[in-house]
Amino acid sequence: MAKSVCVVGSVALDNVETPSGNASNVLGGACSYFSVAASFFAPVNLVGVVGRDFPEAERRFLAGRGINVEGLEETDGETFRWHGRYHENMNVRDTIDVKLNVFESFRPRLPASYRGSEFVFLANIQPALQADVLSQLQAPEYVGADTMDYWIDSAPAELRALLAQVDLLSINDSEALMLAGESNVVRAARKILAMGPRHLIVKRGEYGALQFSSQEIFAVPAFPLENVVDPTGAGDSFAGGLFGSLAADGAVTSRSLRRATVYGTVVASFTVEDFGLGRLRSLERGEIDARYRQFMAITDFQS
Amino acid sequence: MAKSVCVVGSVALDNVETPSGNASNVLGGACSYFSVAASFFAPVNLVGVVGRDFPEAERRFLAGRGINVEGLEETDGETFRWHGRYHENMNVRDTIDVKLNVFESFRPRLPASYRGSEFVFLANIQPALQADVLSQLQAPEYVGADTMDYWIDSAPAELRALLAQVDLLSINDSEALMLAGESNVVRAARKILAMGPRHLIVKRGEYGALQFSSQEIFAVPAFPLENVVDPTGAGDSFAGGLFGSLAADGAVTSRSLRRATVYGTVVASFTVEDFGLGRLRSLERGEIDARYRQFMAITDFQS
């Protein structure tokens, strides 16, 4: 049986504007995208916070995907809200408005049933809170984390302390360069691996991803898509597919990590085909595997 | 025996400034990079023009690589000169100065011995001149072309007429979007294939390349490099390695084209490791094949 994945991060209600149209009040946040993506592969234990306005239907949707929502705390106040607008070039977006609401005072508390989770992903929140979540776990086998430019800049000591405790860091290319103080991504990767993580994934959006360890590099393109509707959540879906696949395999090897990176790539390619979690709501595991096989065909030059 | 590759384009003397340093008066131009890259795989017939200042040592260097320089015309005046400066982010460069000199009135004339060339690459020059070169060839088996934003904008009719006659177009991603009037590269590719070429390669610099036909897509990352010294000529070396590999194979199939695209990727990765053609001057075929095998290892997730 697959091992379980515990994820902590934001659960939000988003307003999104893209060249393809708009969506209001849709379920978002790193934790939501990650959980739903991972749920195609393995049991998920979700840790997050929402306000009294959080739709009961969304809680039921998550639970219906086999996601344990015992750790989705509901508290007085409103749910985290994000409003973003993408440019015609969807690699660029502006944040129009952010209301942290109940997320501002989020102090993750893991239910007792979560503490044995073997795989853990600390989505982008304050590094000290990420470390606090780690301390609530019994003996996680493999811990991943994301972070962002804001924490690299404003909480460098906490971030460094966290990095010494994680197995994998998954960040954007610009953030990798910023964290390492480098202009070359391979040199940046060496420096980041020296900070603690034994694996680093550098996300490059529509250009794919690079995966580094001290021993090897794995380079993978993105799945080429004709219709990108909304890029929101692509990176978190990528991480969710990746951790779900790892937990399903039950062990982290060079081979399982490469396969997991491709599963992450494939799940993210579905995410961006509709607004918010729209595409993942109707997605079936068979479609993921079919696109995985398609991806093998479009990247193969060795047969 | 390998078939031969005929290439027409610019031969220049460059001044280059990058974050790694400067180089003055170095051999450059699309035709030079293409020819040297292709010469590792197949006989090359070079068509270009230089002035009286062109160093005899450079002509001997090209000839010494087995490149036929009978078509490298020398004429009164000075050689084409380009002066460029790369930003700290080497994806961005400024052109400081361009002196077309003898290149301004270049009218390519193919020596009789070139007219049977099986593979042809029309590097970036005026589309009407590219078409004129085609008309001087007997029965080329496979014709490739490059172009740039300037011609897409200023000579659209000539470019369209050329596209109807070529088998492969190899251009940058921003130029592909511009040519098709699209914001998505996959949709752009469909439109460009409808203009004539049966194969399209979209170059994405350090992010790799996408190769399109009506039947399939091939996505390939770039070779991850720790030290990029000078990106000049990467795209032309890529095309040279690609056409050289195709000519060595002797036939264009889905399989030979994918292999050729990877050879192009590998040769380009050597080019950028030194200024100008510095790295390719000392490069040996065995190093190319060794890096090809490394590239197989860093992209493999199927074994």
What distance in Å separates residue B22's CA from the closest CA in chain A?
18
pLDDT band at B221 (very low <50, low <70, confident <90, very high): very high
Closest CB to A186: pick one of B221, B225, B296.
B225
Q: How many residue contacts between A and B have a Cβ separation below 8 Å?
A: 93
Contact A220 B88 (CB under 8 A): no
User: Which residues partner with A13 through β-bridges?
Assistant: A27, A81
- pLDDT (average), residues A178-182: 97
- Which residues of chain A are at the B interface, by a Cβ-Cβ cutoff of 8 Å? 19, 88-90, 183-187, 190, 204, 207-208, 210, 216-228, 255, 258-259, 261-262, 296-302
Q: What does the pLDDT look like over B57-99, one tens digit per residue?
A: 999 999 999 999 999 999 999 999 999 999 988 888 999 999 9
Q: What does the pLDDT look like over A139-161, one tens digit per residue?
A: 999 999 999 999 999 999 999 99
User: Is the model's pLDDT at B303 over the cut of 90?
Assistant: no
Q: What angle do CA B42, B54, B17 make, to 5 degrees?
A: 85
Q: What pLDDT does A63 receive?
A: 98
- pLDDT (average), residues B9-26: 96
Nearest chain A residue (CA) to B215: A298
What distance in Å separates residue A257's CA from the closest CA in chain B?
9
Which among A21, A23, A20, A29 has a CA at the least distance from the CA of A47? A29
What distance in Å separates residue B102's CA from the closest CA in chain A?
38
Nearest chain A residue (CA) to B300: A218
Q: What angle do CA B188, B194, B199 make, to 5 degrees?
A: 80
Rounded to whole angstroms, the Cα distance separating A27 from A22 reads: 14
Report the mean per-residue pLDDT for chain A. Answer: 97
pLDDT band at A179 (very low <50, low <70, confident <90, very high): very high
Question: Residue B251 is inside which H or E element, if any?
Answer: none
- pLDDT (average), residues A259-263: 98
pLDDT band at B1 (very low <50, low <70, confident <90, very high): low
User: Is the model's pLDDT at A2 over the cut of 90?
Assistant: no
What distance in Å separates residue B218's CA from the closest CA in chain A?
5
pLDDT band at A201 (very low <50, low <70, confident <90, very high): very high
Which among A239, A262, A179, A180 has a CA at the least distance from the CA of B226? A180
Residue keyed to tokens 């014709």: B143
Q: What does the pLDDT look like over A213-248, one tens digit per residue?
A: 999 999 999 999 999 999 999 999 999 999 999 999
Contact B298 A217 (CB under 8 A): yes
Q: What pLDDT does B176 receive?
A: 98
pLDDT band at A173 (very low <50, low <70, confident <90, very high): very high
Q: Which residues of B touch A186 (CB under 8 A)?
A: 224-226
Question: Which residue, among A204, A211, A301, A303, would best test binding to B if mutated, counting the most B CBs under 10 Å from its CB?
Answer: A301
Instruction: Set out the domains of chain B in order of their start, with CATH numbers.
Output: 5-298 (3.40.1190.20)
Contact A186 B259 (CB under 8 A): no
Report the mean per-residue pLDDT for chain B. Answer: 97
Instruction: State percent of chain B over pLDDT 70.
Output: 100
Amino acid identity, position B286: G
Q: What pLDDT does B189 receive?
A: 98
| Complex ipTM value | 0.94
User: Is the model's pLDDT at A285 over the cut of 70?
Assistant: yes
Q: What pLDDT does A1 receive?
A: 66
Contact B224 A185 (CB under 8 A): yes
Amino acid identity, position B11: V
B29-32 long-range contacts (CB < 8 A, ≥24 apart) are B29/B80, B29/B82, B30/B123, B30/B124, B30/B146, B30/B233, B30/B236, B31/B7, B31/B123, B31/B236, B32/B62, B32/B233, B32/B236, B32/B277
Q: What does the pLDDT look like over B133-151, one tens digit per residue?
A: 999 999 999 999 999 999 9
User: Is the model's pLDDT at B264 over the cut of 90?
Assistant: yes
Closest CB to A207: pick one of B207, B224, B261.
B207
- What tokens appear for B273 in the block? 């490791």
* pTM, to two decimals: 0.96
Half-sphere exposure of B59 (CA within 13 A, CB side): 17
Give the CA distances from residue A101 to residues A25, A77, A98, B55, in Å, rounded to whole numbers and listed in that order. 15, 7, 9, 70
Closest CB to B217: pick one of A90, A210, A224.
A224
Q: Which residues of B touch A302 (CB under 8 A)?
A: 296, 300, 302
Q: What pLDDT does B40 receive?
A: 98
- pLDDT (average), residues A204-208: 95
Nearest chain A residue (CA) to B263: A301
Q: What pLDDT does B2 receive?
A: 81
Q: What pLDDT does A15 receive?
A: 97
pLDDT band at A89 (very low <50, low <70, confident <90, very high): confident
Q: What pLDDT does A302 receive?
A: 85
pLDDT band at B223 (very low <50, low <70, confident <90, very high): very high
Q: Which residues of B touch A297 (CB under 8 A)?
A: 216
User: Is the model's pLDDT at A165 over the cut of 90?
Assistant: yes
Contact B208 A204 (CB under 8 A): no
Rounded to whole angstroms, the Cα distance separating A287 from B188 reads: 26
Q: What pLDDT does B89 receive?
A: 85
